[in-house]
Amino acid sequence: MSQKETNKIESVVSKETLIKALRYVGLGQNMNVEVHASLSSLGYLTGGARTVVDALMEIITEGGTILMPTQTTDNTDPSTWVNPPASPSVWDDIRDNMPAYNPETSDLCCMGRVAENFRHRPGVISSNHPTTSFAAWGRYARVLCNRQSLHFPLAEESPVARLYELKGHVLLIGVDFTKATCLHLAEYRTECRPIIVQNACTLIDGRRGWKKYLDLDINSDDFEKIKPEMDRKNLIRETVLNGCRIQLFPVNAAVDEATAFFEKNVVYDLYR
């Protein structure tokens, strides 16, 4: 069998079928939702990432809010890199030539094509964190993005904390709970991780420079352990479209379950 035959498109997902699936799990007008999407998980989708964003905006409307992480986590000090690591001999070259973070032009890191398409849409605004930014569109976009703290960027002064206050939802398209950025809020609320110092290239008084900030050594590996309890309580609506699992659940319930899990299982005693 030739390579062309193995890559043959056998099924098609359209905007209409995607909208039907999203509505089935409960996505609706005027909702406030954090979205994580893997475009490839949908197979062949006519229009690609553009269609996903169009469908989300059509359902949510400007009376609601769409929030997506737009992280630039490669804008960090090269001494901390692990995949791949950087040789100490080139650390200074990297530091001297790293461009300052720019919400319009900095490349996203491992965020996918849907987030990339979304952040360039008219009316989308961005928070200004040099490594852990978000993009938002709709009614509460500025409420979510305007006051993200430099230090501890996913803690109480973060877009995810504001979404929690708004009793928003999380939509996962083809990804699992480890991608749910909102769950990091539980790590900060339980102080279950050690404090670390991060370093990012940004503008300081209008000039490019490196700025240190405090954060937790966050880790999403335990997030999948939250799902069974949420399933037991019927807190997740889900469906499958062309082999792609789509899940919708409330932010508050997920963060509260994660907080309870970390309080019981992952206490970092030094900072308690």
Quote the pLDDT of residue 272: 47
- pTM of the prediction? 0.91
Quote the pLDDT of residue 74: 85
The residue that leads in pLDDT, 179 or 266, is 179
Quote the pLDDT of residue 270: 45
Q: Are strands 195-204 and 65-69 parallel, antiparallel or unpaired?
A: unpaired
Tens digit of pLDDT for each residue in 44-54? 999 999 999 99
The token pair at 119 is: 């952040």
pLDDT band at 37 (very low <50, low <70, confident <90, very high): very high
Quote the pLDDT of residue 10: 84
| Average pLDDT of every residue of the chain | 92
